[in-house]
Chains A and B, each alone.
Chain A
Amino acid sequence: MKIIKLLTGICIFFLSYTSNSFSLIEVDITRGNLNPLPIAVSPLSQNNKTKKIFQNKLNLDDLGLEISKVIENNLKQSGLFNPLSKDAFLQKPDIAHLKPRFEDWSLIKAQALITGKVLIENDKLKVEFRLWDVLAAREMLALSFTTVPNNWRRVGHIITDKVYERLTGEKGYFDTRIIYVSEEGPKTQRVKKLAIMDQDGFNIKYLTLGNELVLTPRFNPTNQMVTYLSYFRNLPRVYLLDIETGIQEVVGDFPGMTFAPRFSPDGKKIIMSFAKDGNSDIYTMDIENRIVERITNHPSIDTSPSYSPNGKHITFNSDRSGYQQIYVMKSDGSNVKRISFGNGIYGTPVWSPRGDLIAFTKLHKGKFYIGVMRTDGKGERLLTENFYQEAPSWAPNGRVIIFYRETKTNKEGEGFSAKLWSIDLTGYNERLVETETDASDPSWSSLLSN
């Protein structure tokens, strides 16, 4: 019982923090500690026979231990949990999974415990896991599922999602992927490739070779399609790529540059800018029947469109007032309203998957900020300040934002780098997202399972 109390405590804290800080238009540079919940993740148990099979199949010494490490890392990165060192665990994994000796776990200050078991059944990996409330001495959650052995990292992510959901009351974001642009080479001649990885930085795959410039990949929220900008044959156009098959095609037949693509929430349309004769307006194309519709018609630059999750509204970036500002309109292009009125200029509006907030980039007095505001433009809150950063993308639960940050070069023009960072909606828990190359333009996928 007590653990539930503590955890609702976290939720309530979240909510009250959020509403309090709505009134403040200032940068929260405090990287405070939210008293992360002490949690023990026991290695998933397995018998010797299973262990040998996995050793042969996956070349992993101890699959159960590896899965528990995936879970621990996820929980730690979330900033809400403090996974305890396994050195202190007194109970063996197999016995703990059957019935934990709660006094032992309580002794090392664990408030929650995850136990599990992996086995092989008809060449499939079968996983059972349980979440325990240590102080109340009872089981909170028990689930089992089956998958192919190569998916073992995803098993860790799915377990984390279930645990996160049970303990916070909100959907997780761990069984997800991030598509981004990998960058290499000198600043004046960057080589850019599309890359995709698991949310925790593992399983990086490069989807293009770097022969042409590629920018701004975005996931379809409903399937494994991606839309992005490619300079293939020196014609900057929006493309559609199926990650599973590798098939790609140009979107529409526009006599000029198309850019800034995103999918509609139902995944059926692509919304983007089309530039002609020095003017950029917003268009949509239906992927199925290829029908193109013009949404804005204004001599200013209209770009960076993003749908509300119910598909009824679009937020976008326009300089029709003289400078870049954020606007909201109905999805047919009517009822255009400017919503950003703070100091500075505003770009890259992205509607939260929860529907209540818009994340943005702001430039003010030579500094770049990632922030959020309500969809009517009120309650502006800046989460992070730096020399250069932009391109926020929401985790599917609307709790975390990923973006990229570039460094300032020295007098000789050296020292440039671009990296992915994530930050909680609260303004806490800012973290570097490790990638093997420099990286920019991240886009977070929907949950792959459930």
Chain B
Amino acid sequence: MNLSKILKNIFLVILFGLVVAACATKKTTTTAKVDSQIQGDVYIGSDTVEELAKGVPDRVFFATNESILTTKSRDTLRKQAAWLRENTNVNVVIEGHADERGTREYNLALGERRANAAKDYLMTYGISADRISVISYGKERPVDPGSNPLSWSKNRRSVTVKAN
């Protein structure tokens, strides 16, 4: 039992090595580019990102099917919260979005879940719930029309937009 497990692992390691080698020889440039923009299935680049104010990014990104906020997302949302505390007259709408690789109705629910994850975090930093409304667009408003993992990662997002 143990031996077969070990053998299996060795096999996997070899296989993995082969895959890496194949990538290294063939796809060095593209893989490196995508790798630098996606970390753990979450987009970390700055393409499509706008600013609510100087140094305050307007959006956070999610992994496939997830609504968990990454360290970077929490950092962005803390900046949004600080800005909202300074600008007490501003209300916001958080738009939740999903990528195109899911059924329409489920993605509407997923977008709502993502927008609320961002809203809840802003609330824990002192922003009152009545200043934040949420809307889910599901997969209806992609920011990137591409059908590839990088485009999808940019579309899995929640965007904070000034409401007034």
Contacts and interface: CB of A to CB of B under 8 A. Distances in A.
Given A411-B146, A413-B145, A388 B101 contact: yes
Interface string A247-279: 000000000110110000000000001010111
B38 interface: no
Given A278-B117, A278-B120, A303-B106, A215 B145 contact: no
Contacts of A187: 142, 145
Interface of B: 65, 67, 100-106, 108-110, 112-113, 115-117, 120, 135-137, 140-148, 151
Interface in A277-306: 277-280, 301, 303-304
B147 A361 contact: no
B101 A260 contact: no
A390 B112 contact: no
Given A188-B143, A215-B140, A413-B146, A275 B109 contact: yes
Contacts of B100: 388, 406
Contacts of B65: 319, 323
Interface string A93-123: 0000000000000000000000000000000
B105 A186 contact: no
6 contacts: A186-B145, A188-B145, A323-B65, A388-B100, A390-B103, A413-B145
Contacts of A227: none
Nearest to A415: B147
A348 B135 contact: no
Given A215-B140, A275-B136, A257 B112 contact: yes
B135 A347 contact: no
A234 interface: yes
A135 B34 CA distance: 68
B105 A275 contact: no
B135 A278 contact: no
Given A236-B108, A278-B120, A323-B65, A348 B144 contact: no
A391 B104 contact: yes
A78 interface: no
Contacts of A256: 112
Given A275-B112, A348-B105, 11 more contacts: A187-B145, A188-B145, A213-B137, A216-B104, A275-B108, A278-B113, A278-B117, A317-B106, A411-B148, A413-B151, A416-B145
B147 A188 contact: no
B105 A260 contact: yes
A190 B103 contact: no
A279 B105 contact: no
A363 interface: yes
Nearest to A277: B116
A202 interface: no
Contact of A348 (B103, B136, B142): B103
Contacts of A324: 102-103, 106
A156 B109 CA distance: 43
A440 B148 CA distance: 21
A188 B151 CA distance: 12
Interface size grouping (class) on chain A: 35 or more
A236 B151 contact: no
A406 B117 CA distance: 30
B112 A278 contact: yes
Given A187-B142, A188-B141, A213-B140, A347 B101 contact: no
A280 B108 CA distance: 10
A312 interface: no
A243 B117 CA distance: 39
Contacts of B113: 278-280, 301
Nearest to B105: A260
A408 interface: yes
B120 A303 contact: no
Contacts of A72: none
B110 A301 contact: yes
A441 B67 contact: no
A224 to B, nearest CB: 24
Contacts of A441: 104
Given A257-B135, A413-B151, A363 B101 contact: yes
Q: Which of B106, B135, B144, B145 has the largest count of A CB atoms less than 10 A from its CB?
A: B106
Contact of A347 (B105, B147, B148, B151): B105
Interface in A400-423: 406, 408-409, 411-414, 416
Contacts of A216: 104-105
Interface in A194-251: 213, 215-216, 229, 234, 236
A213 B137 CA distance: 10
A347 B106 contact: yes
A387 interface: yes
Which 9 A-B residue pairs are closest in the complex by CB-CB distance?
A278-B116, A413-B145, A347-B103, A187-B145, A280-B109, A408-B147, A260-B105, A301-B109, A275-B112
Contacts of B104: 215-216, 390-391, 441
Nearest to A189: B141
A304 B135 contact: no
Interface in A344-378: 347-348, 361, 363
